A = this chain, B = another copy of it.
Amino acid sequence: MSRVWNFSAGPAAIPTAVLERAQRELLDWNGSGASVMELSHRGKRFIGLAEQAEADLRELLKIPADYAVLFLQGGATQHFAQIPLNLAGEGDSADYIVNGHWGEKAASEAASYVRVNVAASSRNEQYLRLPPRASWQLDPRAAYVHYTPNETIHGVEYHDVPEVGEVPLVADMSSNILAEPLDVSRFGLIYAGAQKNIGPSGLVVMIIRRDLLQRAARPMAKIFRYAEHAANDSMLNTPNTWGWYLAGLTFQWLKEQGGLEAMAHRNRDKAGLLYQAIDGSGGYYRNPIDPAARSRMNVPFTLHDSALDADFLKESEAAGLLALKGHKALGGMRASLYNAVPLEAVQVLVQFMRDFAARHG
């Protein structure tokens, strides 16, 4: 079968050009006579790759020099726990903004290591809108403020970076990193599981202001300390070398596409096209999210009659449209429109949705 249009929420689409290159050099990378997976992470060849990937990411996001870039493991979920271990001392509190499933989980995992203050939550509104910045009850003595700019399951997204004063702002950007240009200097720490907008699963990319590396005071193993990872260029132990390699190829691909300005433009077009098709369907399709809070990356939608869901999924898959089934928390459908999903995929989806509505009117 040929390649499908992949709307998976994660692990998600990877640019076809990146996969083709990885395929070509899978058995013999960079003239080494071995796969990139078979080489020591401490060898010159791999270190060159690792440094290039970091340099390309720094260029794409214009990361200031006083920020370290780390390539870690464990998924965002592990760092839900590791962030308080590193940024908060015993007895400290941290502010959490809970605007969807992942923010909720971040707060829950953190609670073993820090006093969690839920400074704002839209849970009582079923996460259909975002708690506006003005409603956040921030504590100026908090160790940090944690939020989830884009919620993968609920399909809500903050379109501006909130101002939180001197307290470091920590953002789980797993599902929207690299979707547009970003002012990294507004953040204390940014982290992202790679499997949505960067590459394969099993890799976490973290951008952390260097002064925060000095915070860890409580006793813990070295492997949990970001400062140790930074001091060892993310090679404190063997990193996920394949993930790092594919992330590097994706960063190069993003540069070839015109960088993050170009991606932002394309992502606006893609999301605009899909929301327009939903809103213009006369109620056949519906997205329940407050329009001001709609995500450009993850678009949940329902059919007017859920009895049609099974047909929609079956026929869309037959039409080469993969992974449109919504998360069980919301039901219905979801289309994830990460960087690697081309405009053409959304055009095909929108046409399919119109045809389906006509057939099953």
* Interface positions of A (Cβ within 8 A of B): 1-4, 6, 8-14, 16, 19-20, 22-23, 26-28, 31-35, 37-41, 43, 73-78, 80-81, 109-110, 112-113, 193, 195, 199-203, 219-224, 236-243, 246, 320, 322-323
A20: chain B residues at CB < 8 Å are 27
Given A1-B28, A1-B33, A34-B3, CB of A242 within 8 Å of CB of B201: yes
In the complex, what's the smallest C-beta–C-beta distance from A257 to chain B, in angstroms?
Answer: 18
Contact at A14–B37, with CB atoms within 8 Å?
yes
In the complex, what's the smallest C-beta–C-beta distance from A16 to chain B, in angstroms?
Answer: 7
Contact at B241–A202, with CB atoms within 8 Å?
yes
Contact of A19 among B27, B77, B219, B238 (CB under 8 A): B27
Most interface-central of A11, A14, A73 (chain B CB within 10 A): A11
For the complex with contacts A10-B40, A74-B74, A109-B222, 4 further pairs of A-B residues with Cβ separation under 8 Å are A13-B34, A73-B75, A73-B240, A76-B237
Contact at B3–A33, with CB atoms within 8 Å?
yes
Contact at B14–A320, with CB atoms within 8 Å?
no
Contact at A109–B223, with CB atoms within 8 Å?
yes
Contact at A200–B242, with CB atoms within 8 Å?
yes
For residue A74, which residue of chain B has the nearest CB?
B73
Bound complex: CA A66 to CA B242 (Å)? 33
Contact at B77–A236, with CB atoms within 8 Å?
yes
A112: chain B residues at CB < 8 Å are 219-221
Contact at B2–A33, with CB atoms within 8 Å?
yes
Bound complex: CA A23 to CA B237 (Å)? 27
- Among all A-B residue pairs, the 3 with the closest Cβ atoms: A202-B240, A81-B221, A4-B33
Contact at A323–B43, with CB atoms within 8 Å?
yes
In the complex, what's the smallest C-beta–C-beta distance from A77 to chain B, in angstroms?
Answer: 4
A74: chain B residues at CB < 8 Å are 73-74, 78, 223
A3: chain B residues at CB < 8 Å are 27-28, 33-34
A76: chain B residues at CB < 8 Å are 237
A22: chain B residues at CB < 8 Å are 26
Contact of A238 among B27, B80, B193, B222 (CB under 8 A): B193
A240: chain B residues at CB < 8 Å are 73, 200-202, 240, 243
Contact at A11–B31, with CB atoms within 8 Å?
no
For residue A27, which residue of chain B has the nearest CB?
B19
In the complex, what's the smallest C-beta–C-beta distance from A174 to chain B, in angstroms?
Answer: 10
Contact at B32–A237, with CB atoms within 8 Å?
no
In the complex, what's the smallest C-beta–C-beta distance from A41 to chain B, in angstroms?
Answer: 7
Given A109-B223, A237-B77, CB of A34 within 8 Å of CB of B6: yes
Bound complex: CA A22 to CA B219 (Å)? 42
A4: chain B residues at CB < 8 Å are 32-34
Most interface-central of A9, A10, A195, A220 (chain B CB within 10 A): A195
A16: chain B residues at CB < 8 Å are 27
In the complex, what's the smallest C-beta–C-beta distance from A155 to chain B, in angstroms?
Answer: 17
For residue A240, which residue of chain B has the nearest CB?
B202
A236: chain B residues at CB < 8 Å are 77
A241: chain B residues at CB < 8 Å are 11, 195, 200-202
In the complex, what's the smallest C-beta–C-beta distance from A19 to chain B, in angstroms?
Answer: 5
Bound complex: CA A223 to CA B2 (Å)? 37
Given A28-B3, A73-B75, A243-B202, CB of A38 within 8 Å of CB of B109: no
